[in-house]
Amino acid sequence: MSDSAALPRLSKLMAERGLCSRREADSYIERGWVKVDGEVATLGLRVSPDARIELLAQARGAQQERVTILLHKPVGYVSGQAEKGYQPAVSLILPERRWGGDTAPLRFQREHLRGLAPAGRLDIDSTGLLVLTQDGRVAKTLIGEDSGVEKEYLVRVAGKLSAEGLAKLNHGLSLDGQPLRPAKVWWQNDDQLRFVLREGKKRQIRRMCDLVGLRVLGLKRIRIGKLMLGDLPQGQWRYLAPGERFD
């Protein structure tokens, strides 16, 4: 194996640095919109991990045109592709469903739906904040392997929870044979818990509650990173405004 073959691909390194997604990186490289150490890069190029990578103006412009949407997902919609007769959440992104309180200086365009994908799951029987994005940087921030962005939930439950059970919800449970990261869980009121997680396994909160003898009656996500669901009405959406960040 040659020395260069052991080096990372440019697209992988760009994604790891949070410049864009790997798919976007390949597109930009193919168009000649990326320079490495001052030279225009070619597709499939392998580079040193400390290489100087520059996105040209065309790539930066393409990124600025990509939108991120915050949706208050109702129960009965799936986060991703349509399944079992249920509509995907993206079907709610219609101009008439845009929240009147949206302050982002964007006019809705059909192009904003192209490649729009959920950055994280919200179960069909759950409601609350769902992020849909065209931007690979946002997706990496929220669902990348090393993402530590907090997600906060209000969870209405039935059953008795001991002090030991509450302690286990905070730290000490495992799912799918793997220990869960420490969480923050406390009573919000008599029948509702507040969960703050830094990971998102499938149906994680419902399965955690099962393990300590609780049944989930309702689940609502109210925060992702720095952004709150706030006054966004159920079934409506808004754009991520300039200057807003999740981390």
40, 64, 88 — which closes off a domain?
A: 64
Number of domains in the chain: 3
* pLDDT for residue 210 is more than 80: yes
Burial of 237 (C-beta count, 10 Å sphere; 0-12/13-18/19+)? buried
pLDDT given for residue 215 in this prediction: 97
Q: Are residues 76 and 142 in the same domain?
A: yes
Q: Are residues 156 and 209 in the same domain?
A: yes
Q: What pairs with residue 191 in β-bridges?
A: none
19, 38, 64 — which closes off a domain?
A: 64
What CATH number is associated with residue 124? 3.30.70.580
Tokens standing for 45? Answer: 């190029």
- With respect to residue 245, please indicate whether it lies within any of the assigned structural domains: no
- With respect to residue 129, please indicate whether it lies within any of the assigned structural domains: yes
Of residues 12 and 182, more confidence is placed in 182
Q: Are residues 231 and 117 in the same domain?
A: yes
- With respect to residue 17, please indicate whether it lies within any of the assigned structural domains: yes
Tokens standing for 95? Answer: 């101009």
Of residues 64 and 29, more confidence is placed in 29
Q: C-alpha distances in angstroms, 238 versus 24, 113, 127, 229?
A: 24, 13, 16, 11
Q: Domain span at residue 21? A: 4-64
22, 37, 64 — which closes off a domain?
A: 64
- With respect to residue 85, please indicate whether it lies within any of the assigned structural domains: yes
* pLDDT for residue 2 is more than 60: no
Of 84, 91, 232, 142, the C-alpha closest to 220 is 232
Q: Are residues 23 and 51 in the same domain?
A: yes
SS3 122: coil
- With respect to residue 246, please indicate whether it lies within any of the assigned structural domains: no
* pLDDT for residue 80 is more than 90: no
Letter string b/e over residues 140-150, b meaning 16 or more CB atoms within 10 A of that residue's CB: bbbbbeebebe
Q: Are residues 172 and 186 in the same domain?
A: yes
Q: Are residues 138 and 233 in the same domain?
A: yes
pLDDT given for residue 86 in this prediction: 87
- With respect to residue 48, please indicate whether it lies within any of the assigned structural domains: yes
Q: C-alpha distances in angstroms, 78 versus 29, 54, 131, 172, 199?
A: 34, 38, 13, 30, 19
Among 37, 50, 123, 231, the active-site one is 123
What does the pLDDT look like over 104-154, one tens digit per residue? 988 998 889 988 999 988 999 999 999 999 988 888 889 877 788 999 999
Q: Are residues 50 and 87 in the same domain?
A: no
What CATH number is associated with residue 220? 3.30.70.1560
Of 200, 245, 241, 239, the C-alpha closest to 219 is 200
**Residue 123 annotated to the active site:** yes
- Mean predicted lDDT score pLDDT of the chain: 91
- With respect to residue 138, please indicate whether it lies within any of the assigned structural domains: yes
Q: Are residues 132 and 235 in the same domain?
A: yes
* pLDDT for residue 1 is more than 60: no
What does the pLDDT look like over 34-69, one tens digit per residue? 999 999 999 889 999 899 999 888 887 776 778 999
Q: Where are the alpha helices (DSSP H) in the chain?
A: 10-16, 22-30, 57-65, 136-143, 163-170, 204-211
d(CA 62, CA 111) in angstroms, rounded, equals: 13
Q: Are residues 140 and 128 in the same domain?
A: yes
Q: Are residues 131 and 189 in the same domain?
A: no
Q: Are residues 233 and 117 in the same domain?
A: yes
- With respect to residue 55, please indicate whether it lies within any of the assigned structural domains: yes
What CATH number is associated with residue 32? 3.10.290.10
